[in-house]
Structure 1
Amino acid sequence: MSGMTTPVRVTTAVSKVLAALLEDPEAERYGLDLMRASGHPSGTLYPILLRLQRAGWVQAEWEDVDPVAAGRPARRYYKLTPDGLVAARTELAALRRQLDRALGGSPETRPA
């Protein structure tokens, strides 16, 4: 990790965004798509995406489209970086373990 990255505090809100990005790690997702997938409004989603970018977990780029021809503004696409993919999987697994402990054991030992 380089000194330029900032650590990410993985809150419930952040974990929903990471989970949405992990649904298809190779896919580039745009804001509205991620709002629907995470359940977050833009005012929650975009600051999280910015934090994930600063941490080096997510890359973002504008699509190369003519807004007039497309009939809509250009979209900014977000995708997990290789580091972000590893970090997201690690963080979500840790969160799941915490949840399992909080709920009293592993999924295998809990009654259905």
Structure 2
Amino acid sequence: MRLTIPVAKVLSALLAEPEAPRYGLDLMRLTGLPSGTLYPVLHRLQAAGWLAADWEDVDPAAAGRPARRYYRLTGEGIRSARSALTELRALVPAEPAGPDLVWAPVW
């Protein structure tokens, strides 16, 4: 899995509560990523076996909204995401080079 910044953001958001299922809009709010960036990342994570996705069992007419697709990390996804983000964190300098390079991942 190629660990890009969007992938790292999604993994960090999912690892904040690994057992909590998240839907697309929820992940967009947590990561700040637009849908055109988020959904390809989710698809790649799912194809790699790091992510499980299931449609909620809801009547859209009764709920007043479409059914949501919920995503959660698999056991392998949790292990692999933690490892990948730890490796990434080791590459980040302890002292930022400037005020624009402040990055505080959550995991």
Give the TM-score band, short-chain normalised.
0.7 to 0.9
Q: 1:84 aligns with which of 54, 58, 77?
A: 77
- Structure 1, gaps ≥5 residues long: 1-7, 105-112
Deviation at 1:54, TM superposition (A): 0.2
CA–CA separation in structure 2 for the residues paired with 1:21 and 1:47: 16
**Higher radius of gyration, 1 or 2:** 1
CA–CA separation in structure 2 for the residues paired with 1:69 and 1:27: 24
CA–CA separation in structure 1 for the residues paired with 2:95 and 2:6: 19
Aligned counterparts, 1:11-22, within 5 A: 11-22=4-15
Q: Aligned with 1:100: secondary structure?
A: coil
Aligned counterparts, 1:1-112, within 5 A: 8-100=1-93
Moved over 4 A (4+): 101-104
Q: TM-score normalized by structure 1?
A: 0.83
Count of residue pairs brought into register by the alignment: 97
- Structure 2, gaps ≥5 residues long: 98-107
CA–CA separation in structure 2 for the residues paired with 1:101 and 1:37: 25
Deviation at 1:100, TM superposition (A): 2.9
Q: TM-score normalized by structure 2?
A: 0.87
